[in-house]
Amino acid sequence: MKPRITDATAWHQAELLMQPVFIRLIDNLRKALDESSWTGTYREDVVWAEDVSPAERQQVIQLQQQFAAAAPAAKAAIEAELAKLPQPTPIYSLCLQQGDRTLTIDLWQVCYQICFKNYSPVVNWADAVDVEIDMSLLDQFGDVDWQRLDAKTRHIVEQVFASLA
């Protein structure tokens, strides 16, 4: 399930929070892995909208590869072509292993639990749900409250690892 933000102010707040949330999540997961019997590896995948054709997907992939190898002068033209095409949504996962047990955690879903009030992760990415920013993560000036962000992130990561038992 992906969050749906319908308010421009909330959209700005989510943009402000998501990068710090992701960074703090990765740091707290690293600490938790150091103290657990689980091993973890990170994986990046992409999800395409259902209406994107295989030909469009292939075109995007080819242009991305060209962009990576392009001279600086050619990059602007490739970016312009990419801007006209649909883009996949990146999915970042933590793959956990302990003996013969394996588990995959969608990191965006955990970030959403941190960033939004009362967000529950689910499997179906096609659905969208209205969300509300957790305003306790912002200070009175609208900036990130790093102490509260750290505390909530640590709490969510502790819950994730407690659920593994």
Q: How far apart are CA 17 and CA 60, in angstroms?
A: 29
For residue 10, what pLDDT is reported?
86
Q: What is the structure's pLDDT at 131?
A: 85
Q: What's the pLDDT at 57?
A: 95
- In this structure, the strands spanning 101-106 and 89-98 are antiparallel
Mean pLDDT of 37-49: 93
Write down the pLDDT at residue 101: 94
- For residue 6, name the pLDDT band (cuts at 50, 70, 90): confident
What is the rounded CA–CA span in Å between residue 26 and residue 34? Answer: 12
What mean pLDDT do residues 152-160 have? 95
Which positions ≥6 away from 128 have C-beta within 8 Å?
Answer: 1, 2, 3, 4
On whether the pTM is more than 0.85, the answer is: no
Q: What share of the chain is helix, strand, coil (3-state, %, to 5)?
A: 50, 20, 30
Angle at 28 between CA 24 and CA 32, to 5 degrees: 170
Q: Which of 19-28, 114-123, 127-136, 137-146 is predicted with the least confidence, judged by mean pLDDT? A: 114-123
* Coil, helix or strand at residue 98: strand
Spell out the residues 6+ positions from residue 19 whose beta carbon is closer than 8 angstroms to its own: none
pLDDT at 71 over 60: yes
Q: Is residue 1 scored above 70 in pLDDT?
A: no
